[in-house]
Structure 1
Amino acid sequence: MMTLRQVEVIRAVMVTGTIGGAAKLLNVSAPGISRLVKYTEKSLGVRFFQRQNGRYFPTPEAQNIFEQINAVYKKVDDLTEIISKIGHGALSELRIGSVPSISQVMVPRAIERVRRRYPELRIDINILKIEEAVDYLLLGRGDCVAMSYRLDHSGLDFLPLASGELFCIVPEDHELGSRKQISAAEIIRYPLIGIDPTDPYGRIMADIFARKKLKYDITIRARFGTTVCALVKAGLGIAVIDQFTVAYGGFPGVKLLRITESTKFDTYIAVKRGAPLSLHIEHFIHCLRSEMQALRLEQDGPRTPASRIRKKIT
């Protein structure tokens, strides 16, 4: 029985016609090639080559063997090509969902990093409402969903992403535009734009007012944070929004004010319970988590460039 190494060496001699040529092709020493050819012939009881004037010619008896060797070598080449394609993501698809607040800025930044590592990976991105996320995962339509809240569902697992905080956003030319921070009690003095407080995402914003027993009266309700930002930019009121929606200047035309009360909340990646995660999904989760944690570090501490923060986390 021949090993793959013996197959490789015999084929190299067959292709080049010399021991030296085979050694150069395989980047090994010529004596090693010569010894392995002699050992293979002796152990199998088959003469592969006739030696004439320093060149090696296939013997008639070995022609069928060489055909099989070429077939084996082609299979190895095919295997190598498939492995290479898998390494570049060519044969796979990453199917991800995200709530709007994370999809606006953070998901694209994570996808850019995924694309650098897997340049041929097919990617399908869906922006989902909370009621769509469960079916999206349980029916196998997607692999994971980035969420700003977690559900109590026996069929899903929730992996931590990052903690975030809320900001008050005002139009750039608003009378509050010169402020650095604001309290919840001050916020409710102005016309408010926001998400329905009964919505899980809207509840995150409403909670800071509920804790202070303040009336959270929304004069204009919108379904998504991006719409809220657009309404604020148009001068129709002020709002409380999560930091990921407006990260890195993702929504120009509004000013961010830090809220004096604690507004911390947690984000998650939801996956189907028991479903194996591919390397591509795991890498996407890693990239998204590090991007979101980098934003948190940047806003909590000194103004360190985000690229340097990401490098430390990665």
Structure 2
Amino acid sequence: MKFKLRQLEAFRAVAQAGSVTGAAAELGVSQPAVSRLLADFSKSVDLPLFRRESGNLIPTAEAEYMLAEIGRVFDSLNHLEDLRHNLKKRTAGHLRIACLPGFATSHLPDALTDFLKDRPQVTVTLEPDRPERILEWIIGQQYDCGITDGFNGHPAIESTDVPIGTVCIMPAGHRLAGRASIEPGDLKDEKLIHSRRDSPFFRHLQAAFTDHDVQMNSWIEVRQFTAACTIVSKGHGVSVVSALDAEQFRDRGIVIRPFEPQIVHRLSLLRPIAGNNSPLVLDFLRHFSDSLTPFAPQRA
């Protein structure tokens, strides 16, 4: 049994108006058109729909049951139209974001809630993990976008690199806290907390020490800058980290100073080439990239 939406509209309009004339005026069609739609619907359901009482058409008990269900159908259609409108305006949908663990608890929550502020119908899945896992998820289209570092390219992924400046951090009251900036020579006797030796950032940092003819005093090797920031905030060692990570610890017992020469840390914003690339995803990536502008490398 198939019903046409226009038949349901006519049936509901007659029930609400109590007459074919009123329903025709409500729907903006002729009375014969309403009568034809109502007759076709009555034939389809094979049930009496109205009884006449004092000149009005009154729904039968069976019709009342159907009207309740039809009301829910139209409510769903109205919701679908609202959803279409919101999707067109990019205020509804679902975002699946994979990110480095440090981002899940630092900069990303603020950037994300700011993005969602004017998008009340948007929901989010946020999943932190290591770079290798993020890469797998984006290639497999399990997530709409990823935030990572050390990305070297992949034919199934489109990426945008965002350069982030770096700084030297030290515990409050440190002997170097009075310096306007820090150079490798200033750190020759300091216990250094640094990123993994196989990371591009470590290689650039090591090159800076070598260029200044300074031996790096390696102490603790970490995967994430946030781990280095946490150790320094506890009063131990010094580190060169991204300005973005350092900012999250500014009021937690560390001193932040520019590091020279400037080393650029590159974040990569990923999305699958074969994905739907919805405007909502693109809007979020643009918003997140803009939120990183204050941490761009400082020009000399």
TM-score, normalisation: structure 2: 0.72
2:295 maps to 1:296: yes
Tell me the residue number matched to 1:81.
79
SS in 2 for 1:241: strand
Aligned length: 283
CA–CA distance in structure 2, aligned partners of residues 226 and 194 of structure 1 = 11
Q: Counterpart of 1:125?
A: 127
How far is the alpha carbon of 1:124 from its aligned partner?
A: 3.1
8 Å CA contact 2:15, 2:59 repeated in 1: no
Shift in CA distance, 21/257, structure 1 to aligned 2, threshold 3 Å: farther
Aligned residue in 2 for 1:307? none
Measured after TM superposition, the shift of residue 255 of structure 1 is 0.9
- Alpha-carbon separation, structure 2, partners of 1:34 and 1:154: 54
Q: Residues 186-225 of structure 1 correspond to what in structure 2 (within 5 A)? A: 186-203=186-203, 205-210=205-210, 212=212, 214-225=214-225
Where does the alignment leave 5 or more consecutive residues of structure 2 unmatched?
A: 43-49
Are 1:36 and 2:29 an aligned pair?
Answer: yes
Mapped partners of 1:282, 1:131: distance in 2 = 23
Aligned equivalents of 1:204 and 1:145: distance in 2? Answer: 24
Distance in 2, matches of 1:133 and 1:45, equals: 57
Indicate the residue corresponding to 1:239 in structure 2: 239
Partner of 2:111: 110
Question: Larger deviation: 146-155 or 213-222?
Answer: 213-222
* Alpha carbons of structure 1 residues 58 and 158: separation in structure 2 relative to 1, 3 Å: same
- The amino acid across from 1:257 in the alignment is R
* Cα offsets for 1:69-107 (capped at 9, x unmatched): 987664343233356568599x96533222245444221
The one-letter code matched in structure 1 to 2:13 is A
Aligned to 1:12: 13
Inter-CA distance 78–143: structure 2 relative to 1 (3 Å threshold): same
- Post-superposition offset of 1:256: 0.6
Q: Residue type matched to 2:295 in 1?
A: R
2:183 matched residue in structure 1: 183
Whether the 8 Å CA contact 2:194–2:220 is kept in 1: the answer is yes
Structure 1 residue 241, shift from structure 2 partner:
0.4
Residue type of the alignment partner of 2:146: V
Matched-pair contact (CA < 8 Å) for 2:233–2:253: yes
Question: C-alpha offsets along residues 248-306 of structure 1, whole Å, 9 cap, x if unaligned?
Answer: 5466111110123232343221223322234553343233222212x337x969xxxxx
Distance 1:21-1:255 versus aligned 2 partners, 3 A rule: farther
Give the percent of matched residue pairs that are identical in Structure 1 and Structure 2. Answer: 17
- Does the 8 Å contact 2:159/2:269 carry over to 1? yes
Structure 1 residues 37 and 148, CA, compared in 2 at 3 Å: closer, same or farther? same
- For the structure 1 residues 147 and 39, does the alpha-carbon distance in structure 2 shift closer, same or farther, using more than 3 Å as the test? same
Output aligned runs, 1:205-284, within 5 Å. Answer: 205-210=205-210, 212=212, 214-249=214-249, 252-284=252-284
Alpha-carbon distance in structure 2 between the residues aligned to 1:104 and 1:44: 59
* Aligned residues of 2:164 and 2:244 also touching (Cα < 8 A): yes
CA distance in 1, matches of 2:244, 2:255: 14
Give me the whole-angstrom Cα distance separating, in 2, the residues matched to 1:33 and 1:82. Answer: 22
Measure the CA separation in 1 of the matches of 2:156 and 2:210.
31
